[in-house]
Structure 1
Amino acid sequence: MEQIIRVLVVDDEERFRDNLVRILNGKDMQAQGAEDGEHALVLTDDNEFDVILLDMKMPGMSGKETLRHMMHNNIDAEVIVLTGHASVSGALDMMELGAFDYLLKPASVSELLKKVRLAGEKKFLREGRIGMRDILSEES
C-alpha cells in the first residue's frame, strides 16, 4: 500500500505512547500521541487520522467515553482499542460502539502493525483511496 496511514496513539503511559509513535513513524506511517481522551478529541478536531489506537483505562476521560465522543463528533477513523487489563468484555463493548478491533497489552509489534495496516486499508477502501485490486496485489 502506497498510502501513508495517519495514526493517533492515545495512552496515558508516556513511555509506551512515545515508543509506539516512534515505531509507527519508522514504519512509513505518520503517528502522533495524545496523553488522554481530552487531548485526543482536540487533535481529532484539528487533524484527520486514519487509525486511532485508544487505551481503555486512562485517568480522566476513559477510552469508552473518548470513543463515544469521537462517534458523536463523526470522527472518520478506525479505532483499535488497547487494554492492559484483560477486559475482553470491555473491549467487546467498545467494538459495539464502533471500534475496529482490540489488542491486549502488551501486544507484539508485528501484531500491532498488522492490525494498524488492516484498519488503514479498511479506511482507504471506504474512502476510495485504494481498491480491492491494490490489496490483493500486495498479498500475492
Structure 2
Amino acid sequence: MKQIRILLVDDEIDFSAPLGKRLARRGMDVHTASSGQNALTELDNRPVDVILLDIKMAGMDGLRTLSEIKRTHPQIAVIMLTAHADTDMVLASMGLGACGYLMKPVNIDELVDKVREASRNDT
C-alpha cells in the first residue's frame, strides 16, 4: 500500500504539530501549513492525496481556502476540521466539495479511517 500524503492546514500549531506526529507514526507522510495561503503554496510545490483543513483560521478561512483548492486542485480529497459545531459552515464546506468533516479534538482512529477512505476515493 502506498504511503498517504497529507497536508494538515491549521493555524493552531499546538493542535497541528502533535496531530501531524500521530499521523506520521501511523505511516502517513504529513506536511503542515499554518494558513490558507501557505497551504496553496504547498500544493503548488508538493503533491498530496488528502488535505485536513481547519474551518476557522485567521486570514483566509477554511471555506475560502477550500474553494481555492477545489478550483486549482479538484482531484484532492479535503476533510474539514472544526472545533465549532456550526451546521451552516459544515454544509457550506460539503457544498464546496469537502468529502467529510470531523470535530476537534479528533479521535485519531476515526481520522485515520476517514483519511484512508478519502485517499481511496480520490475524485
TM-score, normalised with respect to structure 2: 0.95
Larger Rg: 1 or 2? 1
Amino acid in structure 2 at the alignment position of 1:35:
S
Report the identity percentage. 41
- From the two aligned structures, give the one with the greater helix fraction: 1
Residue in 1 that maps onto 2:5: 6
In angstroms, what is the RMSD of aligned CA positions? 1.1
Q: CA deviation at 1:75?
A: 4.4
Distance 1:29 1:74 in 2: 20
Q: What do the CA deviations read for 1:31-74 (whole angstroms, capped 9, x no partner)?
A: 01100100000000111110000000000000000011111213
Q: What do the CA deviations read for 1:70-124 (whole angstroms, capped 9, x no partner)?
A: 112134210000010111221121011100100111121111111111111112x
Residue in 2 that maps onto 1:22: 21
Distance 1:61 1:44 in 2: 15
SS in 2 for 1:3: coil
SS in 1 for 2:3: coil
Residue in 1 that maps onto 2:73: 74
Amino acid in structure 2 at the alignment position of 1:59:
A
TM-score, normalised with respect to structure 1: 0.84
Distance 2:73 2:26 in 1: 28
Distance 2:74 2:40 in 1: 9
Distance 1:88 1:102 in 2: 11
Residue in 1 that maps onto 2:35: 36
Cα contact 2:70–2:76 (8 A) shared by 1: no
Q: Which runs of 5+ in 1 are unaligned?
A: 127-140
Distance 2:88 2:39 in 1: 24
Alignment size in residue pairs:
123
Cα contact 1:44–1:75 (8 A) shared by 2: no
Higher RCO by CA contacts (8 Å cutoff, separation 6 or greater): 2
Residue in 1 that maps onto 2:56: 57
Q: Which runs of 5+ in 2 are unaligned?
A: none
* TM superposition outliers: structure 1 runs of 4+ over 4 Å: none
